[in-house]
Amino acid sequence: MAHDHAADTDHHDHHDQPASGIGRWLFATNHKDIGTMYLVFSLIMFFVGGAMAMVIRAELFKPGLQLVDPGFFNQMTTMHALVMIFGAVMPAFVGLANWMIPLQIGAPDMALPRMNNFSFWIMPFAFTILLSSLFVPGGAPAGGWTMYPPLFLQGGNYVAMAIFAIHLMGASSIMGSINVIVTIMNMRAPGMNLLKMPLFCWSWLITAYLLIAVMPVLAGAVTMLLTDHYFGTSFFNAAGGGDPLMFEHVFWFFGHPEVYIMILPAFGIISEILPTFSRKPLFGATSMIYAIASIAFLSFIVWGHHMFVDGMPLAAQVFFMMSTMLIAVPTGVKVFNWTATMWKGSLSFEPPMLFALSFLFLFTIGGFSGVMLAIVPVDFQYNQTYFVVAHFHYVLVPGAVFAIMAAVYYWLPKWTGNMYSMGLAKTHFWLSTIFVNVLFFPQHFLGLAGMPRRIPDYAVQFSDWNMVSSIGAFGFGLSQLLFVVVIIQCARGGARKASAEVWDGALPTGLEWTIPSPAPYHSFTVAPEIK
């Protein structure tokens, strides 16, 4: 696979260097610039959503209401979820896709660069609309990110604002997905057949299909909310012959694939990093691809498990329980393959590897609580409690978010050409891993002991674990400032220059390590040959 990139100098294009000034970003068509914008946007949203989480945990620090009004508390829980899901996690993965897919498949850029620009620039507008709803009469959405009617429809101006913002986010996601699929299908370097393609690209290819399949479903659901609220329809209004439960079905038909949209690219990232620092190829690479595809398929037939307490025919309860439990099988295959990748390897513990290992352990814990939640008769006790909150935060924070951080630490030297401070990055890792457990583990106990979720105040027997959890939250929130410090230092010159291979001595595989660091503005203008 070795090739030099002298080809890069052989330009027949007039803009070999980035344009100067704001125009470079506003009119960006370069996948690296757009990827950077997505990642920076996602980091900002991570702190916006994080600040909301701090408000929530500060109010829950002790029983009684000290800081915010219950209505505002509900706005915080709702907005925290919307911002983190649609503003932080998803754009981060799209940013990584923009940066890495062309580099990994040996393509000069994404297939549809202008649409790429459009799909990014929609996002700041969508989030300006969503966040500005905090300042309109009646405030921001407060009915939970799931937007269940009739509660959501009791809102004021936010109904239109949130729905319009979600439409925009959905359009952005669909365009991003089309771009990923077209790029992967058409622009792979000669000789790179699909089974030779890196796992990160594979996970994104499947994720992109999921997005295209379910984002229109979400758009349909919220459009029906919109017409119910403003145009007198009764899709979900029982008094008008509508069906409030139908919204839940439609929403979760989107919502369950959505949770895999947030974790499949993470699987891809972990499958890149573990082999590198184990100095050993990924174990069972083909079965990994089949596992991702199986999870993607199963994600369409498990939505009912979000709704067991809403009342469901017996047969449906059993069906959704079985199909949900089945997901544990391909997920188990992935965890076993990752473990087997480390087995008889030669492990070193650079920051990306540390985050990947943390992912491996803590995501698995989230998987266990997921299996427990699938057991319908006991789900009646778990559902709508902090046990669920603990479960999905374990799969989303040390799951998706840690995978994103692992990816940033893995590829940042390639992007900037500089190596970051290992000491600071490792400090960030240890603080994050310790505090994320202090934050979320006690929430299992709270839920089992009977604390419902989405409440601003609680009975006094829940005081102790809530205080522990809040301390963990403040620690985790503060630790993330270190992440920003590491990134800024690295972008400004870092500890030292990074080599083309970056992780010398480890076993980084893939085309991205064959070009210099930082990756030139235009890479692979002549496709590399894959043997």
Partner 1 sequence: MRVTKASLFSAAGGACCWSAAASANTSNGYNLPIGVTSLSEAMYGLHMEVFWICVGIAVVVFGAMIYSLLKFRHSQGAVADTSMVHSTKVEVIWTIVPVIILVVMAVPAADLILKQEDMRDSGLSIKVTGYQWKWQYAYMDAADGVNFFSTLKQDSNFARQLDSGIDPHSVPNYLLDVDKPLVVPSGVKVRILLTSMDVIHAWWVPDFGAKRSAIPGFVNEIWFRVDPGKEGIYRGQCAALCGRDHGYMPVVVDVRTPDQFKQWVEEQRAAEKQAQTPASSPPAPAAPAAAAAAPAALTATTARNLN
Phi then psi for 496, rounded to 5 degrees?
-160, 175
Nearer to partner 1 by Cβ, of 71 and 191: the residue is 71
Could you give the CA distance from residue 88 to residue 130 in angstroms, rounded to a whole number? Answer: 14
User: Please, what is the minimum distance in Å from the beta carbon of residue 328 to partner 1?
Assistant: 6
Among 5, 31, 32, 256, the active-site one is 256
Check if the beta carbon of residue 307 is closer than 8 Å to that of residue 373: no
Among 5, 80, 229, 428, the active-site one is 80
What three-state secondary structure class fits 452?
strand
How many other C-beta atoms lie within 10 A of the C-beta of residue 326? 16
The vertex-108 CA angle with 103 and 112, nearest 5°, equals 105
User: Please, what is the minimum distance in Å from the beta carbon of residue 394 to partner 1?
Assistant: 13
Q: Cβ neighbours of residue 130 under 8 Å, at least 6 residues apart?
A: 79, 82, 83, 140, 161, 162, 165
- For helices 463-491 and 402-416, angle between their N-to-C axes, nearest 10 degrees: 10
- For helices 285-298 and 244-261, angle between their N-to-C axes, nearest 10 degrees: 170
User: Please, what is the minimum distance in Å from the beta carbon of residue 85 to partner 1?
Assistant: 17
Nearer to partner 1 by Cβ, of 35 and 242: the residue is 242
Among 38, 145, 204, 513, the active-site one is 145
Catalytic-residue membership of 260: yes
Nearer to partner 1 by Cβ, of 332 and 520: the residue is 332
Among 5, 32, 167, 334, the active-site one is 334
Residue 59, judged by CB atoms within 10 A of its CB (0-12, 13-18, 19+), counts as buried
Nearer to partner 1 by Cβ, of 23 and 281: the residue is 281
User: Please, what is the minimum distance in Å from the beta carbon of residue 475 to partner 1?
Assistant: 16
Nearer to partner 1 by Cβ, of 99 and 435: the residue is 435
User: Please, what is the minimum distance in Å from the beta carbon of residue 457 to partner 1?
Assistant: 5
Catalytic-residue membership of 305: yes
User: Please, what is the minimum distance in Å from the beta carbon of residue 440 to partner 1?
Assistant: 14
Catalytic-residue membership of 331: yes
Among 8, 33, 59, 109, the active-site one is 109
Question: For 256-302, what is the HEC assignment?
Answer: HHHHHHCCHHHHHHHHHHHHHHHCCCCCCHHHHHHHHHHHHHHHHHC
Query: Residue holding tokens 């209004």?
Result: 237
Catalytic-residue membership of 80: yes
Among 99, 260, 409, 420, the active-site one is 260
Catalytic-residue membership of 428: no
Dig out the tokens for 478 from the structure. Answer: 């503060």
Q: Cβ neighbours of residue 464 under 8 Å, at least 6 residues apart?
A: none
Among 78, 119, 133, 172, the active-site one is 172
Nearer to partner 1 by Cβ, of 375 and 471: the residue is 375
User: Please, what is the minimum distance in Å from the beta carbon of residue 479 to partner 1?
Assistant: 21
Catalytic-residue membership of 109: yes
Catalytic-residue membership of 172: yes
Catalytic-residue membership of 517: no
Phi then psi for 386, rounded to 5 degrees?
-65, -15
Could you give the CA distance from residue 356 to residue 434 in angstroms, rounded to a whole number? Answer: 15
What three-state secondary structure class fits 494?
coil
Could you give the CA distance from residue 486 to residue 483 in angstroms, rounded to a whole number? Answer: 5
Nearer to partner 1 by Cβ, of 21 and 311: the residue is 311
Which positions are annotated as active-site residues? 80, 109, 145, 172-173, 256, 258, 260, 271, 305-306, 331, 334, 453
